[in-house]
Copies of this chain bind each other. A is one copy, B any other.
Amino acid sequence: MAKQCTIRFLPGDVSVKVEPGTTILAAATRAGVFINSVCGGDVVCGRCRVIVREGNVDEDSPHFLTREEVREGYVLACEARVASDAVVEVPPETRLHGEPVSPESQVPYLADISRLLRWKTRLTPLVRKTYLELSPPDLDNNLPDLERLEHALRKTVRCEAFQTSLPVARDLPGALRRANWRVTVLTAWRGPVAEIIAVEPGDTTDRHYCVAADIGTTTVVCHLVDLTTGRTFGQAARYNSQARHGADVIRRIIYASRGAEQERQMREAIVSDVNELVGELCETYDVTVGDISLITAAGNTTMIHMLLGLPVENIRREPYVGAAYHVGPVRAAEAGLRIHPRGMLYCLPSVAGFVGADISAGIFATGLAKSDELRMLLDVGTNGEIAIGNRDFLVCASASAGPAFEGAECSCGMRATDGAIDHLRLSPADGSAECSTVSLARPVGICGTGFVDLVAEMLRIGLIDKTGRIHPEACPARVREDEGGQLEFVVVPAEHSGSGRDIVVTQADVHNILRAKGAIYAATSVLLKALSMTFDDLAEIMVAGAFGSFLNISSAVFIGLLPDVPRERLRFVGNTSLAGAKLAGLSHGCYEEVRRIASACTYIELSTHPSFMDEFVAACFFPHTRVELFPTVLAELQPQRER
């Protein structure tokens, strides 16, 4: 492992050890130090300004900073990468308002957004606003109202034809005259056609927002994006409230297929989750719901079906076909979403019944489809999805992992909100935990990345063996039986927790994690085998997912979630599903590219593959039955064994 750098954050004097090359933003998040980064790390908001007091950082040409600020040591935390031990001051303005931006969006492989923003003319959102000052009609120019509007619009909006729905046409004469012929026109991209969806009085182009949504089985995340500048204001997230009807998509489908009432319940659950998040974003960022005229949504096939109200029952039955993998733009209100009354919902396209729009979006956002070298994208969600390819071909597959990596269905699991343990180390001496938590709050639970670290540490100190069984003798003071006789390990005792209750991990939780990582590792192995490849053929493995925090790659390898390849070939890329949805919202070119990717992608069914069960069983060990596949883990565990 490369030498780690210690970064000390002022004024709170919180230190964290990170690998060189980590951004200061990622380091701060890991240290639980809040840095105001409204764009989520896209290098577009310029809000995450910090001052490097000591030590060295690497950064590209500085953005958003004055010459004088650069002299004073200001850098953008999302751009500057740690090169040595350093002392970093977080100035007051960077500590202001807002909730912590979860790092799941902070390490995006998203040159495209910055590129889009540098050439501002390329910002072509799926819903556009155009301000027009029309000349009123006279005898020499007596075009009717609609054609007058279209004529003026044609200079800005390039399309084969305009389309207008009856309510807009009916309202137009009054709208134009009341506004004294100065109006803002909202047009929605429908391929060769632009639909005039609304006409607003005056110039409203500075209030033009999109919500990009990643609708996961377990977690729903929404970003609020300014469509005029491309900047992200911030995010809101919550657990998918369908979860009460089942933890994974199969159980949800079974529930929804019981009848019209159940189908409606499931649809309303997800729709109201998105509505709640939109409301939360509006309140936090002082945006009116009527100024949001666009929602882009990525997510797995079942979630997108349910959002749109499409029947899901055939997805789980052989041959596993959905109702539609791409439904064109629809009126958001028609799906029950509360934004601008005539705003639009664009759902990104899925690839197959169990490879959703999240992976199409991720392939696009990571640039996988344009890569010269062979790469893998591994999206770890409740359903794990895998894509392998380069500019010449794309294949994908899926594996059901369960919600453990999203902090759900574990006794003390939670999302990466205030007080979630996102990273930790266990003392080999007494098993006591050194935790970092989101927002530096007192710990109240464990999120996905926390569990990955926790299980790796338990393995490392011998608290669990390779089958996942807890060994009380390794740490007798902290292991006990619960009421049902199940072993559990107290990670944080009640007196140090924020909830006043012990934070524990149970034997069942560990087995949950084991099965989840086993399913994902097995799926990647079988997919490679089906392609007659090995991990060594991959130039890079990109790990995406709604983990809720920055994934510790070393821990992920240690437990056998990720293969034991040279670390520089493993990269955590954050929530690429959301990144893809956001890019699509900002540019119809990106949206069309995601569509092309979805149709170019070949789906491989793994569940029927003869070796899948064998691989799964073999992968349900820490790190693996064949430990020789994990030489670095073996090297670290060997001394313990010999002890």
Binding site for B on A (CB under 8 A): 137-139, 142-148, 160-161, 163-166, 169-170, 172-174, 190-193, 308-311, 313-314, 318-328, 330, 334-335, 352-353, 603, 605, 608
With the chains together, A630 CA to B142 CA distance in Å?
37
Q: Which of B138, B148, B327 contacts A166 (CB 8 A)?
A: B327
**Please, which residues of chain B bring their CB within 8 A of the CB of A322?**
144-145
Please state if B170 and A311 are interface contacts (CB–CB under 8 Å).
Answer: yes
**Please, which residues of chain B bring their CB within 8 A of the CB of A335?**
166
With the chains together, A358 CA to B164 CA distance in Å?
22
- Minimum Cβ distance to chain B for residue A257 (Å): 11
With the chains together, A353 CA to B327 CA distance in Å?
39
**Please, which residues of chain B bring their CB within 8 A of the CB of A170?**
308-311, 323
Please state if A164 and B327 are interface contacts (CB–CB under 8 Å).
Answer: yes
Please state if A139 and B318 are interface contacts (CB–CB under 8 Å).
Answer: yes
With the chains together, A192 CA to B191 CA distance in Å?
9
Please state if B326 and A161 are interface contacts (CB–CB under 8 Å).
Answer: no
**Please, which residues of chain B bring their CB within 8 A of the CB of A319?**
137-139, 142
What is the count of identical protomers in the complex? 2
Considering the complex, give the chain B residue whose CB is closest to the CB of A311.
Answer: B173
**Please, which residues of chain B bring their CB within 8 A of the CB of A603?**
142
Please state if B193 and A327 are interface contacts (CB–CB under 8 Å).
Answer: no
- Minimum Cβ distance to chain B for residue A490 (Å): 48
**Please, which residues of chain B bring their CB within 8 A of the CB of A145?**
314, 321-324
With the chains together, A172 CA to B324 CA distance in Å?
9
Count chain B CB atoms within 10 A of each CB in A144, A148, A190, A311 and give the residue with the most: A144
**Please, which residues of chain B bring their CB within 8 A of the CB of A146?**
323-327
- List 13 A-B pairs, Cβ < 8 Å: A137-B321, A139-B608, A142-B603, A144-B325, A144-B353, A145-B314, A147-B325, A163-B190, A166-B335, A170-B311, A170-B323, A173-B311, A192-B193
Considering the complex, give the chain B residue whose CB is closest to the CB of A308.
Answer: B166
Count chain B CB atoms within 10 A of each CB in A311, A322, A324, A608 and give the residue with the most: A324
Please state if A166 and B311 are interface contacts (CB–CB under 8 Å).
Answer: no
Please state if B139 and A334 are interface contacts (CB–CB under 8 Å).
Answer: no
**Please, which residues of chain B bring their CB within 8 A of the CB of A190?**
163, 193
Please state if B324 and A169 are interface contacts (CB–CB under 8 Å).
Answer: yes
Please state if B321 and A192 are interface contacts (CB–CB under 8 Å).
Answer: no
With the chains together, A165 CA to B320 CA distance in Å?
23
Please state if B308 and A169 are interface contacts (CB–CB under 8 Å).
Answer: yes
**Please, which residues of chain B bring their CB within 8 A of the CB of A309?**
166, 170
**Please, which residues of chain B bring their CB within 8 A of the CB of A163?**
190, 328
Contacts known (A139-B605, A605-B139); A147 close to B311, Cβ less than 8 A: no
Contacts known (A142-B319, A608-B139); A324 close to B164, Cβ less than 8 A: yes
With the chains together, A440 CA to B169 CA distance in Å?
47
Please state if A144 and B323 are interface contacts (CB–CB under 8 Å).
Answer: yes
With the chains together, A540 CA to B279 CA distance in Å?
67
With the chains together, A330 CA to B323 CA distance in Å?
26
**Please, which residues of chain B bring their CB within 8 A of the CB of A143?**
321
**Please, which residues of chain B bring their CB within 8 A of the CB of A148?**
321
Please state if B353 and A142 are interface contacts (CB–CB under 8 Å).
Answer: yes
- Minimum Cβ distance to chain B for residue A164 (Å): 6
- Minimum Cβ distance to chain B for residue A454 (Å): 39
Please state if B608 and A320 are interface contacts (CB–CB under 8 Å).
Answer: no
Please state if A165 and B330 are interface contacts (CB–CB under 8 Å).
Answer: yes
**Please, which residues of chain B bring their CB within 8 A of the CB of A308?**
166, 169-170
With the chains together, A165 CA to B327 CA distance in Å?
8
Considering the complex, give the chain B residue whose CB is closest to the CB of A141.
Answer: B319
With the chains together, A83 CA to B310 CA distance in Å?
67
Please state if A330 and B173 are interface contacts (CB–CB under 8 Å).
Answer: no
With the chains together, A320 CA to B173 CA distance in Å?
13
A-B complex: 4 closest residue pairs judged by Cβ atoms: A146-B324, A192-B192, A144-B322, A142-B319
Known A166-B335, A169-B327, A170-B309; further 7 A-B contacts with Cβ < 8 A: A139-B319, A139-B608, A142-B319, A144-B321, A145-B322, A174-B311, A192-B192
- Minimum Cβ distance to chain B for residue A441 (Å): 42
**Please, which residues of chain B bring their CB within 8 A of the CB of A321?**
137, 142-145, 148
- Minimum Cβ distance to chain B for residue A374 (Å): 26
**Please, which residues of chain B bring their CB within 8 A of the CB of A318?**
139
- Minimum Cβ distance to chain B for residue A641 (Å): 45
Considering the complex, give the chain B residue whose CB is closest to the CB of A329.
Answer: B163
Q: Which of B139, B142, B323, B334 contacts A173 (CB 8 A)?
A: B323
Considering the complex, give the chain B residue whose CB is closest to the CB of A148.
Answer: B321
Please state if B164 and A323 are interface contacts (CB–CB under 8 Å).
Answer: no
With the chains together, A400 CA to B108 CA distance in Å?
68
**Please, which residues of chain B bring their CB within 8 A of the CB of A147?**
324-326
Considering the complex, give the chain B residue whose CB is closest to the CB of A350.
Answer: B144
With the chains together, A235 CA to B335 CA distance in Å?
41
With the chains together, A321 CA to B328 CA distance in Å?
35
**Please, which residues of chain B bring their CB within 8 A of the CB of A142?**
319-321, 352-353, 603
- Minimum Cβ distance to chain B for residue A290 (Å): 22
With the chains together, A146 CA to B349 CA distance in Å?
12
**Please, which residues of chain B bring their CB within 8 A of the CB of A325?**
144, 146-147
- Minimum Cβ distance to chain B for residue A434 (Å): 49
Contacts known (A191-B193, A334-B166); A324 close to B174, Cβ less than 8 A: no
Please state if B314 and A173 are interface contacts (CB–CB under 8 Å).
Answer: yes
With the chains together, A160 CA to B145 CA distance in Å?
29
With the chains together, A328 CA to B174 CA distance in Å?
20
- Minimum Cβ distance to chain B for residue A375 (Å): 26
Considering the complex, give the chain B residue whose CB is closest to the CB of A138.
Answer: B319
With the chains together, A323 CA to B146 CA distance in Å?
6
